[in-house]
Amino acid sequence: MTIAGVDSAVVLVLGIAITIGALLGFWLGRGRKSITSKTIPQVYIQGLNYLLSERQDQAVEVFLDALRQHPESVDILLALGRQFRRRGELERALRVHQYLLEQPALTLELRRSVLFEIARDYLKAGILDRAESILKELLESQPDHAEGLATLAELYELGSEWASSIEIRQRLLQSGLPRQREVIALLYGELAEESLRQGEREQAQQFLRAARREAPENPRVLLIAGRLAFMAEDWQKALRYWEKLLDHRAGSAILLVLDAFLQALQHLAKPQRQEYMQRLEAYCHSPLAIKRLAEALQLQEGQQIAARFLRSILFKNPDLRVFQLLLRMDAQAPEAELMEKMALAVRQWQIDPELFHCHVCGYQSTQYYWRCPSCRQWGTFSGEKKP
């Protein structure tokens, strides 16, 4: 067995062992003195040993047999199925949960719990129609089941059914679940983006208004509002929206708007353009954003202005990539003070690619996502370097 396999097995065993421990404590609390005999403990010890030995099928048989003898151990089977699902062993997870569902003695509450786990199994397996059917059945009998609603919203989002997800998240909002307004605004943003791709600008405006009602300062709302103003050639309005966006999310947003921002500036008088450019410099923290702004400065204002901008950046925060840009742009020897700063940067330099990352799960990408592809959380991407 590989080291990775051992680690995975240990995690699985620990998850089940915790559940078993809690259940044994419950039995002891009810005065079940026989808990120390060879009946229940031996069954579960055997099952845990099978799991630790990566003999999952034998472990499943042992735990299912334990359920036949001790109906109180439903929680252990639920936990076992969840652990299998987390490991990607979906057939085993479904087998355990389906077996539980067939038990005639299940209470209504436990039946709902099992149905929910089966829906999660199908969702993880990508069988969305089965998962949707089960979740709807669950929500018919328990309309305020928060986990069921959240899972159904996740399912619709996997299928890009944004309007359906909005409807479900409105119900979650009414139930008091946090952050739903921000997520709903992002979902309306998806609908607005789709409308723009199809050339339906008025429809996009309607979706944008709906997003504003939920979260007027949401970054995506500001981004799309600026884009619509840009398309209408209202340059000042577009720049105001985007500058507001940069005030909120400079590290993440600068690369999303920089090209259009610079294009809009071309339609302003030179004094206004220079004023905006000076403010824009304050938002450029990443080498990629600095590079693109320096290139725009060189094209619009000349090489001397662009080189001056790069020098000001380097004096504040020495960076080899920015220094390389300066050397390419200005062949003159850099000042001695700047060279000293760059020597220090060389000694401290580590290869650190410019990546967006999710601050929830740590997923990294060169592309910005409004919804993390890994943990599927909304609005968690950042362009700022992780501490």
- pLDDT tens-digit series, residues 348-376: 555 455 568 898 998 988 788 999 999 99
Residue range 259-283: mean pLDDT, rounded: 89
Task: Give dist(CA 260, CA 286) in Å, integer.
Answer: 18
Whether 3 has a pLDDT exceeding 70, the answer reads no
236/301 same-domain check? no
Whether 190 has a pLDDT exceeding 60, the answer reads yes
199/271 same-domain check? yes
What confidence score (pLDDT) does residue 248 get? 82
pLDDT band at 291 (very low <50, low <70, confident <90, very high): confident
What confidence score (pLDDT) does residue 312 get? 85
Q: Which two tokens stand for residue 378?
A: 């909304």
Considering only CA atoms, which of 314, 323, 278, 321 is closest in space to residue 297? 278
List own/partner pairs for 160-163 with CB under 8 A and 24 or more apart.
160/190, 162/187, 162/188, 162/190, 162/191, 162/194, 163/191
382/363 same-domain check? yes
**Which CATH number covers residue 246?**
1.25.40.10
Residue 107 within a domain: no
In terms of residues, how long is the chain? 387
Considering only CA atoms, which of 180, 178, 154 is closest in space to residue 165? 154
Residue 370 within a domain: yes
What confidence score (pLDDT) does residue 362 get? 87
Total domains present in the chain: 3
Residue range 99-113: mean pLDDT, rounded: 86
Q: Which of 241, 275, 309 is the last residue of a domain?
A: 275
Residue 341 within a domain: yes
Residue 163 within a domain: no
Q: Which of 55-59, 108-112, 162-166, 208-212 has the lowest mean pLDDT?
A: 55-59
Q: Is the Cβ–Cβ distance between 93 and 82 less than 8 Å?
A: yes
Residue 296 within a domain: yes
Q: Which residues contact 224 (CB under 8 A, 6 or more apart)?
A: 189, 192, 193, 196, 204, 208, 211
What confidence score (pLDDT) does residue 285 get? 79
Residue 317 within a domain: yes
Whether 303 has a pLDDT exceeding 60, the answer reads yes
Considering only CA atoms, which of 184, 201, 180, 183 is closest in space to residue 192? 201
207/250 same-domain check? yes
258/205 same-domain check? yes
What confidence score (pLDDT) does residue 67 get? 59
307/337 same-domain check? yes
Alpha helices (H) along the chain: 3-29, 40-52, 56-69, 74-86, 90-101, 108-125, 128-141, 146-158, 162-174, 180-197, 201-214, 219-231, 235-265, 270-281, 287-300, 303-316, 320-329, 336-348
What confidence score (pLDDT) does residue 341 get? 58
Which residue did the predictor score with more confidence, 256 or 182?
182
pLDDT band at 327 (very low <50, low <70, confident <90, very high): confident
Q: Which of 248, 275, 302 is the last residue of a domain?
A: 275
Q: How far apart are the first and last CA of the chain?
A: 36
Residue range 299-313: mean pLDDT, rounded: 84
237/199 same-domain check? yes
Residue range 149-175: mean pLDDT, rounded: 97
What confidence score (pLDDT) does residue 307 get? 85
Q: Is the Cβ–Cβ distance between 132 and 155 less than 8 Å?
A: yes
Widest CA span in the chain: 88
262/304 same-domain check? no
Residue 156 within a domain: no
> pLDDT (tens digit, 9 = 90+) per residue, 201-243?
999 999 999 999 999 999 999 999 999 999 999 999 999 999 9
Residue with tokens 């809009």: 264
Residue 64 within a domain: no
Q: Which two tokens stand for residue 302?
A: 């000349």
* Model confidence, pTM: 0.78
Domain containing 301 equals: 287-348
Q: Which of 212, 247, 275 is the last residue of a domain?
A: 275
219/255 same-domain check? yes
